[in-house]
Amino acid sequence: MNLFLATTILLTLAAPAAAGETCSLKMMAVKGGVSYSHELPAVPGERASYAGPANKRGRGPQRELIFNAMLNEAGEGGFRLDYQVEVAEEKGPPRPPFQAQGKVPLRPGKQVLAASAAGWKLYFRLDGEACAGERGWEKAGTLSARLKCGKLSYPVSFAYLTNEQYMTVLYEEPAENTVRRLTVGLLPGPSAFDGTFQLQYVLNLREGGQVITDSQGKVLLAPGGGSQHAAAGRGCSFTVTASR
């Protein structure tokens, strides 16, 4: 397992729940016309995990999934999901094409786009009588970012909550015997009275043995306030926008 997904979700566990309190949590990773999915039984306050073949739809290679989840009940605000997802090659070297982790609010019966990166999209849906009922919904904002280095351009977005960490890792093979690896980490800080917040970011892009960029920094964002631009190493730029 990649170290990115081996990190334990450090949250207090609730007492075991009865079988009737189990919800259904479905994740689906999509790229182009192919989707990879799995459905987990999820109990609020307990961890759930899966490692094995994905349910594939569409024309594309079969892949493996690692799916770690922690469903938290947020009172009248619905549910919050801590997630770690890895879509891996079924065979070959350990270079998973898509990994993502973060935290997203869920509303039972509604599919949520939690993350996207370079053509990949990650969705979650929560169902089941144990999670139904009249609840409010804590609406997430959206962080939309783009890293550009020469002709390379990587769009990344997350449904976000402040004070939570978000990360994606991508592997590509642009040519035979050449591996490109991208890591983007985002941490939106607490909101000020006017809604602005500081975003910390970490960027790393490598191709083979060459480091194209390895940078980090901070930008001040206001939801709906337009894009912010930051340097991201020689020949690279980083643009990010927050919206609600």
> What does the pLDDT look like over 66-101, one tens digit per residue?
999 999 876 666 799 999 999 998 776 667 899 999
E strand or H helix at 181, and its extent? strand 178-188
Q: Which two tokens stand for residue 226?
A: 């337009």
Q: State the chain's maximal CA–CA distance in angstroms.
A: 56
Q: What is the mean pLDDT of the chain?
A: 87
Tell me if 166 sits within 8 A of 101, measured CB to CB.
Answer: yes
Q: How confident is the model at residue 217 (pLDDT cuts 50, 70, 90)?
A: very high
Q: Region 127-132: what's the mean pLDDT?
A: 79
Q: Is 174 helix (H, G, I), strand (E, B) or coil?
A: strand
What does the pLDDT read at residue 209?
85
pLDDT per residue over 18-69, tens digit each? 445 788 999 999 999 999 999 999 988 899 999 999 999 999 889 999 999 9
DSSP label at residue 24: E
Of 9 and 199, the structure prediction assigns the larger pLDDT to 199
Tell me if 212 sits within 8 A of 236, measured CB to CB.
Answer: yes
Q: How far is CA 4 from CA 1, 68, 218, in A?
A: 8, 12, 22
Whole-number Å distance between alpha carbons of 193 and 195: 6
| pTM tops 0.75, yes or no | yes
Q: Region 116-134: what's the mean pLDDT?
A: 87
Task: Indicate the range of 51-65, 131-145, 147-161, 187-201 predicted with least confidence.
Answer: 131-145
pLDDT per residue over 172-181, tens digit each? 887 777 889 9
Q: Is 5 helix (H, G, I), strand (E, B) or coil?
A: helix
What does the pLDDT read at residue 143?
97
In this prediction, what percent of the chain has a pLDDT beyond 70? Answer: 87
pLDDT per residue over 179-205, tens digit each? 899 999 999 999 998 889 999 999 999
What does the pLDDT read at residue 76?
63
What does the pLDDT read at residue 214?
96
E strand or H helix at 3, and its extent? helix 3-6
Q: Region 108-129: what's the mean pLDDT?
A: 93
Helix and strand numbers (H, E) in the chain are: 1, 17
Provide the edge-to-edge strand list for the sheet that holds 79-89: 47-53, 63-73, 79-89, 98-106, 166-175, 178-188, 197-207, 210-221
Given a cut of 60, whether residue 2 has pLDDT beyond it is no
What does the pLDDT read at residue 5?
40
What does the pLDDT read at residue 237?
95
Region of 145 on the Ramachandran plot (φ > 0 left; ψ -120 to 50 alpha; else beta) = beta
